[in-house]
Amino acid sequence: MDPENLSSFISDRVLVNGKVVPLTFTRDGKLRWNHDDRRCLNVEKEVLGFTFEGSRIRVNVAVEKRDGILCFANMGGIARQSFVFEPLSEESLTLWSQKLRDYIDSLGRPKRLLIFVNPFGGKKCATKIFVEDVRPCLEDADIQFTVIETKHQLHAKEVVKTLDLSKYDGIVCVSGDGILVEVINGLLEREDWSDAIKMPIGMVPAGTGNGMVKSLLDSVGEICSPSNAILAVIRVLLTGHTRSLDVATISQGKTRFFSVLMLAWGLIADIDIESEKYRWMGSARIDFYALQRITYLRHYNGRVSFVPAPGFEEYGEQTIYSGEPSCETRTSQQESLNTQQPGYLGSDVKLENMHWRTISGPFVSIWLHNEPWGSEDVLAAPNAMFSDGYLDLIIVKDIPKLSLLSLLSKMNDGSHVHCPHVMYLKVKAFVLEPGARIDDPMKEGIIDSDGELLARGNVTYKGNVKCSMAYDKLQITVDQGLATLFAPV
């Protein structure tokens, strides 16, 4: 049923907080009443659901107050509230109940979510966040949900690869960015990936970085908090609005990894991965280890090649596409992973027909970003967009240590990209050829994608995580708007 074509509306007198007031439900889905100040609710956008409690009807809403008027929040002051009214007769109660149910049903709201909760991420508070912030909102909205607590790395990916997606209208990750990446990779490794990747995915911040959910909420001026995040998901469920997300395919031989956040090599990767040994410090580990890396700054040999977006053709020197990385020259623990799997194989763009540019090292840092915020307090790529079909590339070559310290201190507002030692541009495709450290050619570096160790070179970071790729040439292409997110509007 089309909400605009509902045959009638109700105007009646009801009890609100012991006072009899007029209440009207209009054809366009507005609840209006007079109580102290005139108030109005847009049922489609603001009402989570209705609860029928004997002779009373409770309206569960997500609102903020402005000048005494209940209205939908868009600046971060979102709160769960309820408005309770009591019709004055049994006949009126029946009519109100039926009309409200009919209207909610006519909206065709999705009702089933799969929730991944990562109890090990960040400060290990995801379970508490789910219980205190997420579940009450879902119950208010009468949304059915299934909860899976992840038990180990790649657990969410394993679940999603074989999941019966027809049972759900969306997936929500109560975690850091890592579970989102697992879900995206799981969907794209399915045989039915082209349909599976249309499944909307939502985020609730409960990890160390939370860059994606910060980017989503910040894009509409909302504070990054669990309550704002889950209410944003529910509002999308209520209105049906979603947002497309670019997916980058990182390839090396037959190995594929699907990235939605970032790729780093050099300083940023070293800080992100090597600071894991200080995880007990929480998010402070990043700043602590960054000071160490600046003090003993590393420079890496290597080369990057890229297809610049229009307007960025002046960066680098002209070159030609040298072919997809085969990684035949190096053998490693990755070989067992390099078998062809069913699923998405990456963009089919003809790279050899594109205009390539190249820049040679030494480099301090190479950083590619798909969304603006790298974490809740790092605006890594202020011009990045969710589905523009490009990655934002930040290059730092030679830079004095004091200038580098100043640069890092400006990352909280994105002004670091204006530093004269920074090259900041957009690229459609990218090839990384990582090399050894300048100070010690026997030592190589780390390649970090979406906060996880993708590859490590000789005599470098030692960890228990197996790398999916070798420390060698790799290629990145972008598929515009491939994935779908629950996004605030």
Q: What is the chain's pLDDT, residue by residue, as a tens digit (489 residues)?
A: 344 444 347 888 898 888 898 888 888 888 888 755 557 888 877 788 888 889 999 888 876 544 343 443 343 456 677 888 899 999 999 999 888 888 887 777 768 999 999 998 777 899 999 999 999 889 888 889 999 999 998 999 999 999 999 999 999 999 999 999 999 999 999 999 999 999 999 999 998 889 999 999 999 888 899 988 998 888 777 777 789 999 999 999 989 999 999 999 999 999 988 887 777 776 677 788 889 999 999 999 999 999 999 999 999 999 999 877 765 544 443 443 444 567 898 888 889 999 999 999 899 999 999 999 999 999 999 999 999 999 999 999 999 999 999 999 999 999 999 999 999 999 999 999 999 999 999 999 999 999 889 999 987 767 667 888 999 999 999 999 999 999 886
DSSP-assigned letter for residue 185: H
Instruction: Print burial letters for 444-483: b (CB count within 10 Å at least 16), e (below 16).
Output: bbbbbbbbbbbbbbeebbeeeeebbbbbbbbbbbbbeebb
Residue-level pLDDT at 35: 57
Closest to 211 (Cα-Cα) out of 379, 365, 382, 413: 379
Residue-level pLDDT at 3: 42
Q: Find tokens 């994935």 and name the residue.
A: 483
CA dihedral sign, ordered 471, 477, 482, 486: positive
Q: Catalytic: 398?
A: no
From 133, 177, 246, 270, active-site residue: 177
Torsion, CA 413, CA 378, CA 384, CA 77, rounded to 10: -80
3-class SS at 129?
Answer: helix
Residue-level pLDDT at 104: 80
Residue 117's contacts (CB-CB under 8 Å, 6 or more residues apart) are 126, 127, 130, 147, 148, 149, 150, 174, 175, 206
Residue-level pLDDT at 458: 86
DSSP-assigned letter for residue 1: -
3-class SS at 345?
Answer: coil
Please measure the distance between the N-terminal and C-terminal CA atoms of the chain and give it in whole angstroms.
24
d(CA 246, CA 385): 9
How buried is residue 326: exposed, middle or buried, by Cβ count under 10 Å (0-12/13-18/19+)? exposed
Torsion, CA 65, CA 66, CA 68, CA 70, rounded to 10: -50
d(CA 394, CA 263): 11
* pTM to 2 decimal places: 0.85
d(CA 423, CA 194): 36
Residue 447: beta bridge partners?
Answer: 265, 455
Largest Cα–Cα distance in the chain? Answer: 85
Report phi then psi at 377, rounded to 5. Answer: -125, 20
d(CA 200, CA 170): 5
Residue-level pLDDT at 32: 85
Residue-level pLDDT at 164: 96
Closest to 449 (Cα-Cα) out of 427, 476, 472, 429: 476
Residue-level pLDDT at 338: 43
Domains and CATH numbers, the chain: 8-66+75-107 (2.30.29.30), 112-240 (3.40.50.10330), 255-319+351-480 (2.60.200.40)
* CA–centroid distance for 192 within its chain: 23
* HSE-up of residue 326 (Cα within 13 Å, Cβ side): 4
DSSP-assigned letter for residue 309: P
Residue-level pLDDT at 421: 96
How buried is residue 257: exposed, middle or buried, by Cβ count under 10 Å (0-12/13-18/19+)? buried
